[in-house]
Each structure stands twice: as structure tokens, then as C-alpha cells.
Amino acid sequence: MTIWRKRLQAAAILLGCIIAGTPVSAQQQKYVVGMDAAYPPFVSVNSDGQMIGFEIDFMNALCAEIKIQCEIQNVPYDGIFAALEAGKIDVIAGGNNITDERKQKYLMPGPYLRGPLAFIVPVSSTIDGSKESLKGKTVGTVGGSVQEKYMREQIGRETTVKLYDSMDAAVLDLDAGRVDAVLSEELQALPGYIQAKPDTYKLAGKSIYDPAYMGQGKGLMVRKTDASLAENLQKGIDAMIANGKLAEFSKKWFGKAVPAR
């Protein structure tokens, strides 16, 4: 019997260790910021496995600005909302665009960055981004994004929309000729594709600044119950716009000072 009891105790301790995983620090509240690190120049990883990008610099500076402790975690987009709801993370960052639907569900401090949408096309293409020029064509973009919403609401049914799970996949299909254009965010398209391969791609027509899609800029996402955190973050963002820090970061990562508002 005693042997069994001892064994049981050992098992319980072992189980406790496995379950607990990481110890909880109770002294100071630490906020966990989640983002999916596969979207350069917003956020990606370097060869040491460290997360880098505009969002990382911005979030670190923002947390310092409002004097809170932050830990940035790499969370895949497929689980990011569940992680926020369950309290595993407290803030979603990574370049989410503010839309009315999103504001209904979450508090969205911001905007801290505002860039337009733009079509990436092969240099020889005649597409200029207008509804007429896209008639009968196939456009690729990321599923569930504001770009997709723009395609459905503004371009209409005469253009086929193909949905990818990353911008890279959509552009690979542009290379393969299966799509005629890719609708992307200009901030992502410029350094990643246009400047990297100027002989292959160009931006078609005018950039799209429609307030229903990109016009409200990018914001963070916070649970509605965390109003004071959201308020704090908002104050910090305002301060960083005023002191020029945000402009500095956007120069570093996008090659130009991008307006925050």
C-alpha cells in the first residue's frame, strides 16, 4: 500500500510539473501581445528566430511609453482570436485594419499606421485597377481580409476572386499566370515585391484609400473587458505620433514616413 501511495504522490508531483509548465509571476502584471510572424515588413523572424519588423519596434516602444511590461508571442492567425478570448494573450498586433465589424467585437486602439490598397500586376499588364479593366479577369488576394471585402463590394461579380492564405501564395500564382492581378496592401507590396523585382511587377493604377476598407488605418485588438488597457494603449499611440517615434519606425521599415492618421 505504502509503495502505491508513494508512487501516486510522485505521479501527482510529476503531473503538477507538466500541467504548470511555466511559473506564474504575480508581482507585476505582464501583458502578452500576440502576432503571426510571417508578414514582412510588419513582422517576420530573423535567422536567430527573433521576431523583427515594424510591429515589433512599435509594440516595444509603445509598452515602454506607457510603462507596462509586455511579452511578444508568435501566434498563428488561425488561433489568434481564440487565444485572445481565453486570456492567453491580451493584445493582438501585427497590422490589423480597423473596420466597423471588428470594432463591434473588440476595442481597437489606433490608428497607428495608414496605407492604401494597391493591385500588383506583371509589368506588361494593362490592368489599371478600375472595374472595367478587371472585367473577366482573375484577382488573387488573402481570404477574410479587407482586400477581399473590397473585391466583393467594389469590383463585383464579373471579376473572379481567388483566395489564398498568404500574400506570397497569391503572388506565386501571379507568376504562374493563374491570376491576372493581386490585391495587396501597398505597404506590404512595395518592399516585398515591387522594389524587390521591379522588372517583373508594378502597381496598377491609383492607390485605394476608401474609408470603408483601409481608411480607418491599422489598430490593435483588445478584449472589450479590458477598457483601461485599451485607453492606455491609445494614449501611448497618441504620444508616439506626437513625438515622431512612429514616423521614425515607418521610415526604417517602409522606406518612407507613412501617415498614422
Partner 1 sequence: MHATLPFLPYIVGGLAVTILASLVTFACAVAIGLAATLWMTTGHPAAGPIVRAYVAIFRSLPELLCIFLVYYGCEIALQKAAVSFGFRPIPISPFLAVTVAIGVQFGAYSVQIFSDAHRSINPGLFEAAHALGLSPRKVTTRVAIPLILQAAIPGLSNLFSVMLKVSALASVIGLEEVTRRAKIVAGSTREPFAAYAVAVVCFLVIAAAAALLQARLERSFRSTREA
Partner 2 sequence: MSESLFFSTTLWFSILRGLQITILLTVLSMAFGLILGTALALVRVYGSALASSVAATYIFVFRGIPLLILLYFLYYGAPQISFLRTGLLWDVLFSSAFGTCILAFSLNNAAYLAEAVRGGILTVKKGQIEAGFAIGLTTRKVISRITLPIAMRNCLSQIGNETIFTIKASSIASIVTVRDLLGQAQYVGNIYYDNITPLLAAAILYLVLVQIVERLIRWADRALKPAPLAGAKGKRPNQLQVVS
Return the residue of 192, 217, 219, 236 that touches partner 1, per CB under 8 A: 192
Tell me which of partner 2, partner 1, none is bound by residue 27, counting a contact when its beta carbon lies within the kind-specific cut-off of 5 to 8 angstroms: none
Q: Which is nearer to partner 1, 148 or 168 (CB)?
A: 168
For residues 60 and 111, give the distance between their C-alpha atoms in angstroms, rounded to a whole number. 17
Tell me which of partner 2, partner 1, none is bound by residue 143, counting a contact when its beta carbon lies within the kind-specific cut-off of 5 to 8 angstroms: partner 2
Can you read off the three cell numbers belonging to residue 100?
466597423
Tell me which of partner 2, partner 1, none is bound by residue 24, counting a contact when its beta carbon lies within the kind-specific cut-off of 5 to 8 angstroms: partner 1
Can you read off the three cell numbers belonging to residue 50?
527573433
> Is the four-CA dihedral 255, 257, 258, 260 of positive or negative sign?
positive
Site string for partner 1, 92-121 (x = CB under 8 A): ------------------------------
99: nearest Cα among 186, 183, 210, 231: 210
Q: Which is nearer to partner 1, 122 or 215 (CB)?
A: 122
Q: Which is nearer to partner 2, 92 or 190 (CB)?
A: 92
Q: CB under 8 A: which stretch of 78-86, 105-113, 213-221, 231-239 binds partner 1? A: 78-86
Number of residues lying near partner 2 (CB under 8 A):
24
Q: Does 106 interact with partner 2 (rule: CB under 8 A)? A: yes
Q: Does 18 interact with partner 1 (rule: CB under 8 A)? A: yes
Q: Which is nearer to partner 1, 153 or 175 (CB)?
A: 175
Q: Does 82 interact with partner 1 (rule: CB under 8 A)? A: yes
Q: Does 128 interact with partner 2 (rule: CB under 8 A)? A: no
* Sites of contact with partner 1 (CB under 8 A): 18-22, 24, 37-40, 44-49, 73-76, 78-79, 82-83, 85-88, 166, 168-169, 172, 192, 196
